[in-house]
Structure 1
Amino acid sequence: MATEVAKRAKAMRLAHNLSQKSLADRSGVSQASLKRFERTGEIAFIALLKISAVLGCMDDFSALFTPREAVSIDAITQKRRIRGRG
């Protein structure tokens, strides 16, 4: 997942016609960190947020860790009936 996010971020950077240096300057993230991120997917979360802000992707974080509907243990362990054919 990390490398996929890095690929998307690089594609977004290129779509905005930004060099690594210009994105690094605008975001306040070092160019070395940006290069490592695009190559390996490894980056500090705060740096990822800074890059996302420059690329206009901050809204993408809004769904991260949102509460989901609670499911009971009974509902998980309950066997579901499978209908057979013919």
Structure 2
Amino acid sequence: MLFVSLSKVQKKLVDNIRERRLQMELTQEGLAERSGVPLPTLRKFEQKGLISLESFLKLLSVVGGLEEMVDILKPKKQNFKSIDDVLKSEEKPIKKRGSRR
């Protein structure tokens, strides 16, 4: 699925969480209680799509999808184009550091 903008992605995430909640026959109050996310935070999320990462992960832990989220964000394995690429990859990996900005 290709999304055009971040707002569309945000709306789709909200819709998916809400749909999972409804499939589980949970009210907003029930999901808030089970997840530990305050009810006003859950309501704001379902209305405006705004939520902290911690609260989002708490919701996923109840409605499902937390493990899939972790798996999907794993770094991709290298695709080799030649035997030289394979041999180079067997050398000691170079440590990478982020910039200090």
The TM-score, its normalising length taken from structure 2, stands at 0.63
Q: How far, CA to CA, are the matches of 2:75 and 2:62 in structure 1?
A: 27
TM-score by length of 1: 0.74
Q: Is 1:43–2:54 an aligned residue pair?
A: no
Q: 1:63 aligned to 2:72?
A: yes
Once the 2 structures are TM-superposed, how far is the Cα of residue 41 of structure 1 from its aligned partner? 1.2
Q: Does 1:7 align with 2:15?
A: yes
Aligned residues: 70
Task: Give the counterpart of 1:33 among 30, 41, 45.
Answer: 41
For residues 19 and 75 of structure 2, the distance between their equivalents in structure 1, rounded to whole angstroms, comes to: 30
| Aligned-residue offset at 1:40 | 1.3
% same residue:
30
Q: Mark the runs of 5 or more structure 2 residues left unpaired by the alignment.
A: 1-8, 80-101
CA–CA distance in structure 2, aligned partners of residues 31 and 60 of structure 1: 25
Instruction: Please give the root-mean-square deviation of Cα atoms over the aligned residues, in Å.
Output: 1.6
